Amino acid sequence: MFQVPTKTQYAIRALVHLVQVKTASVASIAETERIPFKYLEAIFSQLKSAGLLSADRGRSGGYRLAREPELILMSDVVKATEGDIRPVECVDDASICTVAEGCLPRRFWLGLKRTVDAYLASVTLAEIAEPLSPRNRIEPSPQLNEISIAAKKEHHS
Amino acid sequence: MFQVPTKTQYAIRALVHLVQVKTASVASIAETERIPFKYLEAIFSQLKSAGLLSADRGRSGGYRLAREPELILMSDVVKATEGDIRPVECVDDASICTVAEGCLPRRFWLGLKRTVDAYLASVTLAEIAEPLSPRNRIEPSPQLNEISIAAKKEHHS
DNA sequence: AAATATCCTACTAAATACCTATGAATATAG
DNA sequence: CTATATTCATAGGTATTTAGTAGGATATTT
């Protein structure tokens, strides 16, 4: 479950590359990142449509980030390569939920969606692309979880 | 992304049913829950292997929960129907990560996995199967998120 | 004009999700 | 003890999604 498609993994690798290199052609990125050229071309097309990349055609053209990596959330990236996060159909369209039972399952799935969304939106491309210094923080998630669990326990008693 | 397979959705619906009915045959559950009979049979086989269900063969046999619904976590269910949560190969096997760059992406995916795991483990089957009273709480996730986001902001400043 | 890019459309291949079929093993009710 | 109702085991089969290819048109710089 929750296997992240290679498409999205490729997208992230390529974006990280672009953070460091500023601007590059699909061909060069595909080569150094070992990503199938034509596939990456298609992926970049999507990322551009989503407003994450800008492109210049022609000789010495190439792709570059459309805005600062600090302003690119990982949720933006995921939303660009795959669609919206929709764990179950009925989270959009409640009318499907004709099985009665007040649909607590639905609320469960909604909660999952919110949780994932929140996590993805809590990390920026800049954080992921940070130069490989031995002590870089970016520990948003472990703490996030500790807190969540603690909060849950509290609420329960 | 994160489309939850119908298999898991079926599993949950069927388990909820079993919470209320105590014991039932696959056929009866399949009919009332509108789940393909043979498919549900296969799913129950998995759930039994995972230790979530017990079964009695023969004429008035059927399935029942192997333990109290309060002790069945949704993470157990998901783990039973699909495997472990493995957003990216390298979260298990770090040796794949030969692309250098200290692999901050890997930490990002790990964080996602932890977040999802924590959420799934924070809800029990009992909570989802609660009788349909107008005011049943079970708001673990919305609050959980508010807190998380608040905490994140705090941490940021 | 030649070279090097992005861009566009269509296709194939592999994997996965979803479901069906057949029948054996087992227990119970009558 | 036999008919029946159940779980259990194995082997398919179809449809959808994911992953990747192919070929070329279009734009821009040198």
Mean pLDDT, range B1-21, rounded to an integer: 93
* Protein contacts of strand D with Cβ less than 7 Å away: A 5-7, 10, 36-39, 42, 56-61, 82; B 3, 25-28, 38, 41-42, 44-45, 48, 55-63
CA distance A16 to A102: 44
Count of residues for chain B?
A: 157
pLDDT score recorded for residue B157:
29
Q: Cα torsion for A119, A141, A2, A34, to the nearest 10°?
A: 100
Residues of B in contact with A144 (CB under 8 A): 111, 115, 148, 151-152
Cα–Cα distances (Å) from B45 to A55, B51, B126, in that order, read: 52, 10, 21
pLDDT score recorded for residue A103:
74
Model pLDDT for residues B68-120, shown as the tens digit of each residue: 999 999 999 999 999 877 777 766 555 556 545 457 788 899 899 999 999 99
pLDDT score recorded for residue B98:
53
Q: Cα torsion for B147, A91, A105, B142, to the nearest 10°?
A: 10
Report the SS3 class of residue B70.
Answer: helix
pLDDT score recorded for residue B152:
40
* B50 has a pLDDT exceeding 90: yes
CA distance B118 to B112: 10
CA distance A70 to A128: 10
Report the SS3 class of residue A126.
Answer: helix
Pairs of CB atoms within 8 A across A/B = 167
Backbone angles phi, psi at B23, to 5 degrees: -150, 145
pLDDT score recorded for residue A107:
87
* A62 has a pLDDT exceeding 50: yes
**A4: nearest CB among B78, B87, B142:** B87
Model pLDDT for residues A68-81, shown as the tens digit of each residue: 999 999 999 999 99
Alpha helical stretches, state H, chain B: 6-21, 26-33, 37-49, 74-81, 104-120, 125-128, 140-156
Q: Is strand C in 7 Å reach of the CB of B59?
A: yes
CA distance A8 to B117: 21
Backbone angles phi, psi at A63, to 5 degrees: -105, 155
pLDDT score recorded for residue B130:
84
Model pLDDT for residues B108-146, shown as the tens digit of each residue: 998 999 999 999 999 999 999 986 554 444 444 433 333
Please give the structure tokens belonging to residue A9: 């993994």
CA distance A143 to B20: 37
Amino acid residing at A148? S
pLDDT score recorded for residue A129:
93
Q: What is the pTM of this model?
A: 0.82
Mean pLDDT, range A1-17, rounded to an integer: 93
pLDDT score recorded for residue A2:
79
B111 within 8 A of A141, measured Cβ to Cβ = yes
Per-chain mean pLDDT for chain A: 82
In terms of pLDDT, which residue wins out, B46 or A98?
B46
Name the band, by pLDDT with cuts 50, 70 and 90, for residue A139.
very low
Name the band, by pLDDT with cuts 50, 70 and 90, for residue A101.
very low
CB of B80 within 8 Å of any CB in chain A? no
pLDDT score recorded for residue A82:
93
CA distance A34 to B39: 40
CA distance B134 to A76: 37
- Say how far residue B50 (Cα) sits from the centre of its chain: 12
Q: Cα torsion for A36, A39, A50, B87, to the nearest 10°?
A: -70
Residue in chain A nearest B16 by alpha carbon = A105
